[in-house]
Homo-oligomer: A and B are copies of this chain.
Amino acid sequence: MVTIKDVARIAGVSTATVSRVIHNGGQVGDACRAKVKKVIAELGYQPNANAQALVSKTTKAIGVVTPRLSMSFFGTLASGVENAVSENGYKLLMANSLYETQSELDAIQSLRQHNCRAIILHSEYSDEATLIRLAEEIPGLVLVNRYIPQIANRCVWLDNIRGGQWVTEYLLAQGHQQFAAVTSIYQNRDPAERLQGSRQALMEQGLSLPPERVAKSTANMEGGEQAVKELLARGETFTALLAYNDLMAIGAIHALFAAGIRVPEDVSVVGFDDLPVARACRPRLTTMHYPIEEMAAYAVNLAIKLSNANCQPTGQTYLFMPHLVERDSVTKASR
């Protein structure tokens, strides 16, 4: 391994000078700088990041913790983070939290041990108090997809309520009147908010979403399938189906077809998230686009900024809006 001393010795200067050259510090003579640069190139010298981190007490590493990378949504989130991170010349440290509060905390701990400068966290289950405490300890902590008033300026999140509202208004505009919904059994945050938005839109038209028309299950394909079966078994009728997310929507479509109900001819179905899979299924899914990649990039830049200045909580927050992507799973209601 070639160290800064080797460079210094061969270039005939001190290590301090080499260090200055590496960091483009102003106070170096041109000739000297050129010589050092030449030696660096010849030797293929690379500063040891650990040593730099040790002495400067900060690293060029950013950590991200998400439930599981194998899920499309989180893969895309991580990808957005990675791009922004490497654009800034930083490194990415990853940790899966596996949807468990404890391993989420463990993941954060181990990231901190490595002195990452900032942490991007997608937390679903940790409570607000924990997150607030964490934010106090970690200047560069940013929450994605979560809003906590006390640390609003570290939250990069999505307006789920409006999302639910807009997608419902769209269905309404297509003439639909009979709605049903499949949603997550965990009625925490996202699912509850999206549903709330839908109910709001419905109410404005004097319509409603009665509880018997809302089936709950796991927030994946199987869950969507299962939930629709339940709806059908109860004999519910509807022309528009609101799914909590794309996965549930696709499962729902499967169950509908299995029951001889065509989408969109008989029933229109909408999803939420706009995962890649929304373009793969048939009919291609009309859904609300979740700008997760942009949000991830935004979160990284915010995290870097926060980690530099030590920012006090401000009232400001970072709210993104979903938008509708029209594809083939919705059609006008036939009267």
What is the bound-complex CA distance between A46 and B109, given in angstroms? 9
Residue of B nearest to A1 (CB): B57
Q: Does residue A79 face the partner (Cβ distance < 8 Å to B)?
A: yes
Question: In the complex, are the beta carbons of A257 and B282 less than 8 A apart?
Answer: yes
- Of B51, B78, B247, B277, which is within 8 A of A94 by CB? B78
- Residues from chain B with a CB closer than 8 A to the CB of A282 are 253-254, 257, 281-282
A91-B110, A96-B82, A221-B280 known; A293 vs B70 contact (CB < 8 Å): yes
- The 7 nearest A-B residue pairs measured at CB: A75-B75, A70-B79, A69-B79, A50-B53, A92-B94, A70-B76, A49-B114
List which A102-130 residues lie within 8 A (CB) of chain B. 107, 109-115
Question: In the complex, are the beta carbons of A54 and B50 less than 8 A apart?
Answer: yes
Q: Does residue A313 face the partner (Cβ distance < 8 Å to B)?
A: no
Most B CB atoms within 10 A — which of A76, A82, A94?
Answer: A94
- Residues from chain B with a CB closer than 8 A to the CB of A59 are 50
Q: Does residue A47 face the partner (Cβ distance < 8 Å to B)?
A: yes
What is the bound-complex CA distance between A96 and B69, given in angstroms? 14
Question: In the complex, are the beta carbons of B281 and A280 less than 8 A apart?
Answer: yes
Chain A residues close to B by CB (< 8 Å): 46-51, 53-54, 59, 61, 68-72, 74-76, 78-80, 82-83, 86, 91-96, 107, 109-115, 221, 247, 250, 253-254, 257, 276-277, 279-282, 293
Number of copies of this protein chain within its complex? 2
- Residues from chain B with a CB closer than 8 A to the CB of A115 are 48-50
Question: In the complex, are the beta carbons of A72 and B72 less than 8 A apart?
Answer: yes
What is the bound-complex CA distance between A317 and B78, given in angstroms? 31
- Residues from chain B with a CB closer than 8 A to the CB of A51 are 50, 54
What is the bound-complex CA distance between A47 and B112, given in angstroms? 10
Task: With both chains docked as a complex, state the minimum distance between the C-beta of A103 and any C-beta of chain B, in angstroms.
Answer: 8
A50-B51, A70-B79, A93-B93 are known; give 11 further A-B pairs, CB within 8 A.
A48-B113, A50-B53, A50-B54, A50-B59, A82-B94, A82-B95, A83-B96, A86-B96, A91-B93, A277-B280, A281-B282
Question: In the complex, are the beta carbons of B82 and A75 less than 8 A apart?
Answer: no
- Residues from chain B with a CB closer than 8 A to the CB of A48 are 54, 113, 115
Task: With both chains docked as a complex, state the minimum distance between the C-beta of A191 and any C-beta of chain B, in angstroms.
Answer: 20
Question: In the complex, are the beta carbons of A75 and B69 less than 8 A apart?
Answer: yes
- Of B70, B94, B221, B276, which is within 8 A of A279 by CB? B221
- Of B53, B74, B110, which is within 8 A of A75 by CB? B74
A75-B71, A221-B280, A276-B72 known; A47 vs B113 contact (CB < 8 Å): yes
